[in-house]
Structure 1
Amino acid sequence: MRAAALLLLLASFGADAIVIRDDVPDSRYRLAAAEFPALADMPGEGHGVLIAPGWVVTAAHAVGWQHAVDSVVVGGAPRAVRRIVVHPGYKPPPQAMIDAALKSGDWEAFFAFAAASDDIALIELAEPVADVAPARIYDGRALGKVVRIIGRGATGTGTKGHSLHGPNRTELRQGYNRIDSEDARWIGYRFDAPPKALPLEASIGSGDSGGPILVAVGKQWRVAGLTAWKRGQVEGTELRPGRYGETCYGVRLGSYAGWIEETMASGRDSGETAGR
């Protein structure tokens, strides 16, 4: 069995959402939307986070595959999109690379490509959001910290994983994990099986790309990262996402704080794409 790099929300086999322990009832992972109203829902699947009244941050690939993002849902209401600004360092994986990995079962080249990309984008809204408080970015060290992950995507359990074929938008869930790797671009965590697992240990499943990875600062949850990609399991050429043992990676937002602030302040970026 080899590790496979699985970029979430690829058109060929989708993205990932909250996958849970086998021995804990699903009801304990369910989350009311009011508990984190800054969560943004992309059209169809995928997420982002409201970080300023007029701005949502998300993973670049969560918007890049979609034909158009005219609006996003924040606080239960659709919010019109003015424009999308993709980080100039984002590189979508070549289809030939994906096809070769699917055929051979060898995902190492794909893994290296994904790890070298700046998978982040900003969505400027047509009007500021006045009825939802933006989430604050966490810019400290995350290594060793327990994080909270949130998403509405595909679900399953650590023994069986989840289907590659959807559905990729389900009920809102949350779970927890512990950051065990951190570098300039990424924070990462492993989906452990009991008895090593946290009480509400979780991984991500198809449809969660761009969703928040949260760190507690006092009584406040701040956004340390955005769900992006993972090293799942593959047997032969069969992908088996959502199983115990996979490692998940999120965009480390603190590393992009300068770009985020500059983009929101200046309104200029060579990677701009129309939201309409």
Structure 2
Amino acid sequence: MEVTDEINLVFPLILLLFSQYCGAVIKRHDIPATAYQVVKPPEYLIDMPHDGHGVLISPNWIVTVAHVIFYDYQGKMIDIGDKSYQVEKVIIHPGYKKPDKSLTQGDAKPLMDFFKSNHDIALVKLASSVHEVAPIKLYSEADELGKTVSVYGKGSTGDGLTGEVKGTKSLKVLNRFENEIETLEANWLSLKFDRPPHGLELEGIEGNGDSGGPSVIHKNNTPYLAGLVSWDYWQGDLASFKNGLYGNRSYQVRISSYIKWINHTINNS
């Protein structure tokens, strides 16, 4: 994998091993993998044309992370429910930038600082409206701290003891994990993968390919989109990075910080 390709994913994934795990997302080692599997996918969860996910937030609009827009998706088809819909246009947040190659080597701090200052969000407009699938509501409150989120994805898998196993990404099995929002930053929600006996029963963290997957808060039995899977935090040399280990932290795009931009973009497009 080339360095430029790695940066376009959740995080630069280096020195990963292959194995025969089944399913997606990174799980607890002491819980059966089947407990994380999703029998009926939420209809608002969208598979993007090349890689990663998006979320249906209105009949004509999908929100996703900007780094899964690998090329011009205009005219591409996206499956939603039992139908396919054509992409009319993609609007990337004006504050989004791709990292320079120099940031992908050596000490991780410059890359982490770059990620924190970035605006990893984009909107995809569909050429026709979706009527058969209900969009998810956006979480607009600034009280996410301490709340439990359910996170969906079809990316790589593994467990907290051995970490992510790169070769499992192609399995494309949808799973769901839970985690507690540990810290809030201006545009980010942060999760930590706690080792048992700490953490939740279905504690987990995302894998490579889960980018853009929804972090969902349930309020009065109604799901709300609180975040989007974006990147993983690391300290030290990037060459020693291992995704999916207990103690690792991930960052999700904080939807409540982008409500005004989302509404303005939709209303003016």
- Higher mean alpha-carbon deviation, 254-263 vs 156-165, is at 156-165
Q: Does 1:53 align with 2:53?
A: no
TM-score (norm 1): 0.85
**Structure-2 residue corresponding to 1:178:** 180
**Structure-1 residue corresponding to 2:137:** 136
Shift of 1:168: 4.9
- Structure 1 residues 30, 76: CA separation in 2 closer, same or farther (over 3 Å shift)? farther
**Structure-2 residue corresponding to 1:19:** 26
Shift of 1:235: 7.0
Of 157, 162, 165, 2:164 maps to 162
Shift of 1:190: 0.2
Corresponding letter in the other structure for 1:42: M
Structure 2 CA distance, aligned partners of 1:191 and 1:7?
A: 22
3-state SS of paired residue (2:162) = coil
Structure 1 CA distance, aligned partners of 2:251 and 2:57?
A: 20
> Where in structure 2 are there 5+ consecutive unaligned residues?
1-5, 15-23
**Structure-1 residue corresponding to 2:9:** 9
Shift of 1:252: 0.5
* Post-superposition CA distance 1:168-221 (Å, at most 9, x none): 552000010000101220011100010002100010000011110011111111
- Structure 1 residues 222, 249: CA separation in 2 closer, same or farther (over 3 Å shift)? same
Q: Is the 8 A contact 2:10 2:231 kept in 1?
A: no
Shift of 1:33: 3.8
Q: Provide the aligned C-alpha RMSD in A.
A: 2.2
**Structure-2 residue corresponding to 1:204:** 206
Structure 1 CA distance, aligned partners of 2:187 and 2:83?
A: 32
TM-score (norm 2): 0.87
**Structure-1 residue corresponding to 2:90:** 84
3-state SS of paired residue (2:265) = helix
3-state SS of paired residue (2:258) = helix
> Where in structure 1 are there 5+ consecutive unaligned residues?
1-5, 268-276
**Structure-2 residue corresponding to 1:251:** 253
**Structure-2 residue corresponding to 1:225:** 227
Structure 2 CA distance, aligned partners of 1:171 and 1:81?
A: 25
- Structure 1 residues 236, 145: CA separation in 2 closer, same or farther (over 3 Å shift)? closer
**Structure-2 residue corresponding to 1:264:** 266
Shift of 1:76: 4.7
Shift of 1:74: 2.1
Structure 2 CA distance, aligned partners of 1:208 and 1:91?
A: 20
Q: Does 1:29 align with 2:32?
A: no
* Post-superposition CA distance 1:9-38 (Å, at most 9, x none): 169649xx611000111111001344x110
Q: Aligned residue pairs: how many?
A: 253
Structure 1 CA distance, aligned partners of 2:168 and 2:235?
A: 18
Q: Is the 8 A contact 1:145 1:178 kept in 2?
A: yes
- Structure 1 residues 192, 85: CA separation in 2 closer, same or farther (over 3 Å shift)? same
3-state SS of paired residue (2:267) = helix
3-state SS of paired residue (1:255) = helix
Corresponding letter in the other structure for 2:91: V
Shift of 1:66: 4.0
Q: Is the 8 A contact 1:7 1:228 kept in 2?
A: no
